[in-house]
Amino acid sequence: MSVRILGVAIFVIAALYTQQAGTYAVTFGDVLGPTVFPVIVGVPMMILSASLVVFPMGQVDWPAPQRMGRQAAALAVLVGYTMTLEPLGFPLATFALIALIGIILGGAPVKAVVLGAVMAPALWALFDQVLGLPLDFLGELFV
């Protein structure tokens, strides 16, 4: 039964992901636009998750409650990242993401903060300056 529940959950996420891809509107860049990649990922994901519902196989061994808690915390951090990306800007939101995920995964807090402080501006420079994908350095709260 757990496999079927997981299949339904993945199917719903894939359907929403694919549907949301149709709302992107960009007037520059690739002729195909930004909707192609999410559709390429979402449609097979829906097909494969539907196969889990129709043909469930194997048993699910649920992880210990402590691991489930860490997974829920990591998911909450990822959702929070999407909500703070525009208000805080890419470097600050990414710094918080990297530091918190590092702590959740069991890293030393000081090392996780240092990693976030180094990687966030480096990733911003890579995407914005090197690859030419514009990202806000400071978000809407600072403008």
Rounded Cα distance between 36 and 11, Å, is 19
**Burial degree of 135 (CB within 10 A; 0-12, 13-18, 19+):** middle
Q: In the structure encoding, which two tokens stand for residue 121, read together?
A: 């501006």
Of residues 104, 106, 108, 82, the one with CA closest to residue 93: 82
Return per-residue pLDDT of the chain as tens, 143 residues: 788 888 899 999 999 888 887 776 666 666 666 677 888 888 999 999 999 899 888 777 878 889 999 999 999 999 999 888 888 988 999 999 999 999 999 999 999 999 999 999 999 999 888 888 777 888 777 76
Q: Which residue has the tokens 């808690």?
A: 69
Cα angle value 98/115/126 (rounded, 5°): 80
29 phi-psi bin (left φ>0, alpha ψ -120 to 50, beta other): left
Cα angle value 11/16/17 (rounded, 5°): 95
| One-letter amino acid of 103 | I
Q: In the structure encoding, which two tokens stand for residue 69, read together?
A: 């808690």
